[in-house]
């Protein structure tokens, strides 16, 4: 079974803090993704990576950065947390490139509250 | 890019009834359409998917239909059970892209 784990289920941070969200997958997947999930808006893509040290902006990258130093690990960084970044953050991974890409497998999510 | 719309946003059915959730997409280059189920406190999990060269796919009580001409696809759940209660997301993937585009979700409530 594919397993995608996220470092924290719940996180409370203060405005202006630097926040790290970690994601690890154990299936040697090439692709990894970070989404945020807000009520009524579905899943919105923040960043994704299709290889180590590679990253591409998704639909809402502002205020976020990412790091992929190892194939199995993909980190999401909030450089200076703001209250409008309070959300559920979901990490996902998948195998394959382009039209060969298979479905995405999701982690359990990190619910972040920024005060 | 792609735009995926999903309806309804909430759906309440009686146990044993059928439930249908519909999605439309905008880009005819989309060729893969997964459906996910998200239970409370968990990440979305794939329940069924369909590729653009197929019109229908079934897996026990779950089926998905795809109409490429109209650019819409639907999830059908028959003989619903209380454990089917969850949020369901549709998604579309553009051919040769690594990105998936998600619908806004449908909260299904199955009343016992």
- Give B14→chain A minimum CA distance, Å: 24
B53 at A interface, C-beta within 8 A: no
Rounded CA separation B102/A4 (Å): 19
**What would the two tokens of residue A6 be?**
């996220």
Task: Check residues B2 and A24 and name the one with the higher pLDDT.
Answer: A24
With CB atoms and an 8 Å threshold, state whether A40 touches B9.
Answer: yes
Using CB atoms, pick whichever of B9, B45, B104 lies closest to residue A106: B45
> Each residue of A28-51: pLDDT tens digit?
999 999 999 998 888 999 999 988
B70 at A interface, C-beta within 8 A: no
Using CB atoms, pick whichever of B32, B42, B102 lies closest to residue A42: B102
What is the per-residue pLDDT for A1?
Answer: 66
φ, ψ of residue A98 to 5 degrees: the values are: 55, -130
CA distances from A64 to A80, A114, B44, B77 (A): 9, 14, 22, 38
CB A11 within 8 A of CB A111: yes
How many residues appear in chain A? Answer: 115
- Give B81→chain A minimum CA distance, Å: 23
Interface of A to B at Cβ within 8 Å reads 4, 31, 35, 40-45, 48, 50, 56, 58-59, 90, 92, 94, 97-99, 101, 103-109
> Each residue of A61-112: pLDDT tens digit?
999 999 999 999 999 999 999 999 999 999 999 887 665 667 889 999 999 9
φ, ψ of residue B84 to 5 degrees: the values are: -80, -10
CA B102 to chain centroid, in Å, comes to 10
């Amino acid at each position: 079974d594919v397993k995608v784990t996220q470092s924290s289920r719940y996180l409370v941070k203060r405005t202006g803090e630097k926040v790290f969200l970690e994601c690890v997958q154990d299936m040697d997947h090439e692709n990894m993704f970070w989404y945020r999930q807000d009520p009524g808006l579905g899943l919105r893509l923040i960043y994704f990576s299709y290889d180590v040290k590679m990253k591409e902006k998704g639909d809402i990258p502002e205020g976020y950065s990412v790091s992929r130093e190892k194939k199995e690990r993909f980190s999401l960084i909030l450089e200076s947390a703001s209250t409008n970044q309070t959300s559920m953050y979901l990490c996902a991974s998948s195998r394959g490139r382009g039209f060969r890409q298979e479905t995405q497998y999701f982690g359990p999510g990190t619910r972040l509250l920024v005060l | 890019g792609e735009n995926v719309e999903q309806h309804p946003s909430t759906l309440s059915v009686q146990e044993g009834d059928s439930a249908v959730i519909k999605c439309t997409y905008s880009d005819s280059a989309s060729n893969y359409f997964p459906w996910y189920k998200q239970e409370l406190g968990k990440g979305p999990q794939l329940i069924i998917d369909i590729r653009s060269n197929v019109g229908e796919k079934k897996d026990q009580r779950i089926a998905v239909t795809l109409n490429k001409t109209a650019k819409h696809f639907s999830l059908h759940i028959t003989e619903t059970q209380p454990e089917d209660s969850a949020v369901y997301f549709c998604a579309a993937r553009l051919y040769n892209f690594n990105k998936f585009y998600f619908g806004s979700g449908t909260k299904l409530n199955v009343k016992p």
